[in-house]
Structure 1
Amino acid sequence: MSESHNIIMLANRLAPSPRWASAALQIKAEHDHAINMVRSNNTAVYGSNTLTGHLDDNKLNPNQAWITHENILREHAIGGSTFMSRSQARLVGFARMHTWSNGGSGISPYLFELAEKGVTNRHFSPAVPLDSSYSCGDVIPAAHWSLDLLDTIRKDHQVELSPPDLMGLINGAFISIGFSLSLLPRIENCYQQILMASRLMGSISGFDFSSIGAIRKQQDTGDLWQSMEPLIKPYQPIIKPNQSQHPVSFRALPQALSSFARCHRELQCELDLLLSQPSCNPYFDLSRDEAVSQASFLTPSLTLKLGSCIESALMMGWLLVNRCNHLLSGKVPSIPRDMRVSDASIGMIQYPKLMMAKLEEARLISGRRTFASGGDTSYGVEDLWTNSLNSARQLDSMLDALTWISAIELRILIKIIDNLEHANPLRQYLPEALKCDPDVHEIQSYFECSDHAGVKP
């Protein structure tokens, strides 16, 4: 099991990772080292005995530092109109514990121990804003998370922040890592849904997708592809295959799915790597007498992997829309144009249009590429905007659209199976198709309302 999926599993169970306990000695040694630096009158330690950002040349009164740190936390917590779900915020906490365990943050062992109790507390539900990232450590959403964590653990424990705790709490890539982790199961569900629908589509249209197996031998797309390979072949052909070529949206399924699976694999590998590395600033190295100023809180590679997933999901959306257009075009034997079963009905004429509308909406949201332009804050101190969290939000929105597109496609297939006698034998496979993606299954209820109660989806 990958480290990413291990973290997702542990978060679902609210179970601490064994890695956290094994990091305790290193956490203590680095904290002691950081404290010795802070107590040295000649050493400026960013965020521990100085202010933050472009005020880092302002030294703090040692006797008032912990009060100042509390104030700085609250002064960072200025965001919020859209928040992560409970499960997404839980992954953020587990990602924070993991990056702390990799060392370098200087976090106090006492806070580290209590944070473990906090993130595994089933009642801990931090309000982490999604719309307040400027991608230099995500310090605004991190401050919200940190304050909610402190409020939770202070219900049972006395906590005063140690000097390195401020930057240990709010600096690091854990916000974007945690949110991105929540996208892996969504990609996998979409992938499975597309495969199952493709089996039904192949049966109904007379197109056999089994050539995918040959592609698999040439391209290593990882566990996602391998686990789905047995599910490629159509359930059973119900019409005689058309001798003319099917559209590219049918023939390109091997290439599109291969790309989708590969992008998922690369995103997972990037998250595995980030979960194995420190993510903080400053970095406390036991072999050095000064805190190291660096940028491990930035994750440009994660942004690039997310961007690839966005592109592949857009491609999959195009493929689904166009193959449904062909299915309802009147060119597939035994399927009437627009699935009109009576002269008094327009059939399913609106369904491909709604699919296209969802795809166009996703294209609008995903239109800007991260490194096509730049920006800076703090008068040029922070000038590399990697936008990992914003890119993850784009992918999340893209997966929403792809889920809707898949749900509409499945609805079209269900209509064909229910209304055309020669397709009825495929009805036995619908329960399997409906359980691939819980979100697709839920969306079907909208269409049920439309069919039976006149309620628009």
Structure 2
Amino acid sequence: MSEAALPETVVVDGESLTPEDVVAVARHDAPVELPDEAWEKMQDSRERVESVLESGDPVYGVNTGFGHLVETHIDREDIERLQTNLVRSHAAGAGRELSRSEVRAMMVTRANTLAKGFSGIRPSVVELLVSMLNEGVHPVVRSRGSLGASGDLAPLAHMALVLIGEGEAHVDGDRLDGADALDAAGLNPVTLASKEGLALINGTQLTVGLASLFVVDAERTIEAADAAGALTTEVTMGTTANCDPAIHEIRPHPGQKQSAETIRHLTAGSTVLESHKDCERVQDAYSIRCLPQVHGAVRDAVSHLREAVEVELNSVTDNPLVFPAGDVDERAPGTDVAAVVSAGNFHGEPLALRLDYAAGALTELAAISERRTDRMLNPEVQESYLPAFLTERSGLRSGYMIAQYTAAALLNECRSLGRPSIDSTPVSGGQEDHVSMSGQSALHAQTVIENVSTIVGVELLCASQAAEFLDDGLELGTGTASVRDSVRSVVPPLEEDRQLDDELETAGDLVRFGAIRAAVNEALD
């Protein structure tokens, strides 16, 4: 999906949010709407909490302490203070601040899960969260501190502080105290009632918000890598025989078949491929010959992650959960109208494992792309018609030599990142004795996709430059020509050595934000 195809307005109803919706809100400021039916569901849920509070029975999150302090009963007159103290004490993050888009992704996903009506929060509190999105009030949120169980507590607490007029937020480029930020947008802070602090901070919304951005970016990057690989195949005088449908029908992994089909379509009409059909080369290197298998495996890994993200976006992930009486085990604490169940939907493992897997898969996409780049630059392995490092008078000029260094450095960083989901450190006096580290997995995945998009961008730059040296009269495929033209629309051919950092960033943005995908889709239509 290209940027132009993103939704113009996003409805948070707890049922239909997609990764593309998150991108539209996070990066393009799409307006957010809270429908009447969501308001009604939240109001019903709130009334159930009030009935439990009236009963006076000890219920976690309503009138008890938290974590290890679960056995501590809180008096009725301290209920509101309890929720405010919870938000303040849990705003204990560290590290860099989340970017504007990362904060907005977390906010819209939190609003959506609350809109399902199982969290016991007043609709007016969620309405304020939606209004902050629409008016551009962006809390200052520290990125580190989440363990991915009980959800992403610390980052969400930094977000929640602004709703009560505390913390800090950015508004129109200014960094303001929470109360001043709300006032600048014409909004008023709320005073939290029973359970509402916990409802705001207990969930996986940092994880799933970043995972949504990652999934969309990763899918675009895979398509751009297919395009880059197709163009590299042509300019290195490779063959697309490895993409013949018969090959992939007898090993029918979905992603593999898709990448092979894409390569065939992109190179259709190529006279470059026809020009060396009868050459003496028996086989291409693996980075060319095994492209469908490797790219396809990455496609399937990201598809696996998307499945989990789409479920998580429209799930309830806080604790405790508020149900109508009779919908759950009759032994659950509550009243004649409500049951409040303490459970573990806040645990981020369903996302953490797949995020780490997908980040590793994208690293492999980067690895094979970097090897194809080397085949175009390296005078020891490249085609004889290509000058060393893709520049005339190499030696006097270095061409794209150091662009590969940057690709190698970024690849090393991807490989050096750990796999947070295999770690767990008990906290809260041992009450929370197994955690997912899903927030850290999501942050690592963000780093990986930024790096990989640049690495694929380097291949696109080099393949476009290599095409400048094709013999007159030879034509690229319809699709690969469109991809080359997309690159050339923002980066001119390299004739003299020049500073390359801006064009590496530009090429990475073409990959990550969908311009290459749009060129591919246009060519294939």
Place the TM-score, normalised by the shorter chain, in its bin: 0.7 to 0.9
Residue 363 of structure 1 corresponds to which residue in structure 2? 415
Specify whether residues 88 and 261 from structure 1 end up closer, same or farther in structure 2 by C-alpha distance, changes over 3 A only.
same
**SS at 1:92's partner residue?**
helix
Specify whether residues 160 and 85 from structure 1 end up closer, same or farther in structure 2 by C-alpha distance, changes over 3 A only.
same
CA separation in 1, counterparts of 2:42 and 2:295? 43
Residue 70 of structure 1 corresponds to which residue in structure 2? 84
Greater shift in the superposed pair: 387-396 or 63-72: 63-72
5+ long unaligned stretches in structure 2: 2-15, 166-180, 326-331, 505-525
5+ long unaligned stretches in structure 1: none
CA separation in 2, counterparts of 1:46 and 1:299? 20
CA deviation digits over 1:349-401, x for unaligned, max 9?
A: 44434322221121112x34522x43100121112221111111111111122
Residue 216 of structure 2 corresponds to which residue in structure 1? 185
Greater shift in the superposed pair: 189-198 or 273-282: 189-198
Equivalent residues of 1:48, 1:166 under 8 A apart: no
Say whether residues 1:246 and 2:246 are aligned partners.
no
TM-score by length of 1: 0.86
Residue 147 of structure 2 corresponds to which residue in structure 1? 134
CA separation in 1, counterparts of 2:258 and 2:61? 43
Greater shift in the superposed pair: 7-16 or 373-382: 7-16
TM-score by length of 2: 0.76
Say whether residues 1:406 and 2:422 are aligned partners.
no
Residue 341 of structure 1 corresponds to which residue in structure 2? 392
Greater shift in the superposed pair: 244-253 or 106-115: 106-115
Residue 52 of structure 2 corresponds to which residue in structure 1? 37
Aligned with 1:220 (options 254, 267, 286): 254
Distance apart, 1:430 and its partner CA? 6.5
Equivalent residues of 2:45, 2:322 under 8 A apart: yes
Residue 316 of structure 2 corresponds to which residue in structure 1? 278
Distance apart, 1:161 and its partner CA? 1.1
Equivalent residues of 2:305, 2:351 under 8 A apart: yes
CA deviation digits over 1:63-118, x for unaligned, max 9?
A: 23213321221121122431222222112111112211223211112223333323
Residue 297 of structure 2 corresponds to which residue in structure 1? 259
Greater shift in the superposed pair: 424-433 or 140-149: 424-433
Distance apart, 1:279 and its partner CA? 1.0
CA separation in 2, counterparts of 1:126 and 1:452? 40
Specify whether residues 192 and 40 from structure 1 end up closer, same or farther in structure 2 by C-alpha distance, changes over 3 A only.
same
Aligned with 2:438 (options 388, 405, 410): 388
Aligned with 2:362 (options 313, 318, 338): 313
Greater shift in the superposed pair: 97-106 or 145-154: 145-154
Distance apart, 1:337 and its partner CA? 4.2
**SS at 1:405's partner residue?**
helix
- State the one-letter code of the partner of 1:356: A
Greater shift in the superposed pair: 157-166 or 138-147: 157-166
CA separation in 1, counterparts of 2:156 and 2:119? 15
**Which has the larger helix fraction?**
1
CA separation in 1, counterparts of 2:489 and 2:105? 25
Residue 197 of structure 1 corresponds to which residue in structure 2? 228
Equivalent residues of 1:105, 1:283 under 8 A apart: yes
Say whether residues 1:451 and 2:497 are aligned partners.
yes
Distance apart, 1:51 and its partner CA? 2.0
- State the one-letter code of the partner of 1:240: H
- State the one-letter code of the partner of 1:14: A
Specify whether residues 104 and 409 from structure 1 end up closer, same or farther in structure 2 by C-alpha distance, changes over 3 A only.
same
Specify whether residues 244 and 188 from structure 1 end up closer, same or farther in structure 2 by C-alpha distance, changes over 3 A only.
same
CA deviation digits over 1:379-426, x for unaligned, max 9?
A: 211122211111111111111221221122223223323356559855
Greater shift in the superposed pair: 273-282 or 48-57: 48-57
Equivalent residues of 1:79, 1:129 under 8 A apart: yes
Equivalent residues of 2:269, 2:477 under 8 A apart: no
CA separation in 2, counterparts of 1:143 and 1:347? 49
Matches within 5 A, 1:156-175: 156-157=187-188, 159-175=190-206
CA separation in 2, counterparts of 1:410 and 1:319? 13
CA separation in 1, counterparts of 2:420 and 2:495? 38
**SS at 1:23's partner residue?**
helix
CA separation in 2, counterparts of 1:64 and 1:448? 69
Say whether residues 1:81 and 2:100 are aligned partners.
no
CA separation in 2, counterparts of 1:127 and 1:76? 14
CA separation in 2, counterparts of 1:441 and 1:449? 16
CA deviation digits over 1:326-365, x for unaligned, max 9?
A: 3333442422444463264355444434322221121112
Matches within 5 A, 1:2-151: 3-8=17-22, 11=25, 12-16=28-32, 20-41=35-56, 43-121=57-135, 123-136=136-149, 137-151=151-165
CA separation in 2, counterparts of 1:226 and 1:33? 55
CA deviation digits over 1:183-235, x for unaligned, max 9?
A: 12211231232122122212211223364462666233499869957744266
**SS at 2:138's partner residue?**
coil
CA separation in 1, counterparts of 2:473 and 2:435? 53
**Which has the larger strand fraction?**
2
**SS at 2:193's partner residue?**
coil
Equivalent residues of 2:45, 2:120 under 8 A apart: yes
Specify whether residues 343 and 61 from structure 1 end up closer, same or farther in structure 2 by C-alpha distance, changes over 3 A only.
closer
**SS at 1:175's partner residue?**
helix
**SS at 1:117's partner residue?**
helix
Equivalent residues of 1:76, 1:139 under 8 A apart: yes
CA deviation digits over 1:281-326, x for unaligned, max 9?
A: 0111112524211110112121121122112111111111222223
Residue 324 of structure 1 corresponds to which residue in structure 2? 373
Specify whether residues 333 and 87 from structure 1 end up closer, same or farther in structure 2 by C-alpha distance, changes over 3 A only.
same
Residue 306 of structure 2 corresponds to which residue in structure 1? 268
Equivalent residues of 2:132, 2:138 under 8 A apart: no
Equivalent residues of 2:388, 2:394 under 8 A apart: no
**Identity of counterpart residues, as a percentage?**
20
Equivalent residues of 2:359, 2:445 under 8 A apart: yes
CA separation in 1, counterparts of 2:370 and 2:317? 41
CA separation in 2, counterparts of 1:124 and 1:168? 20
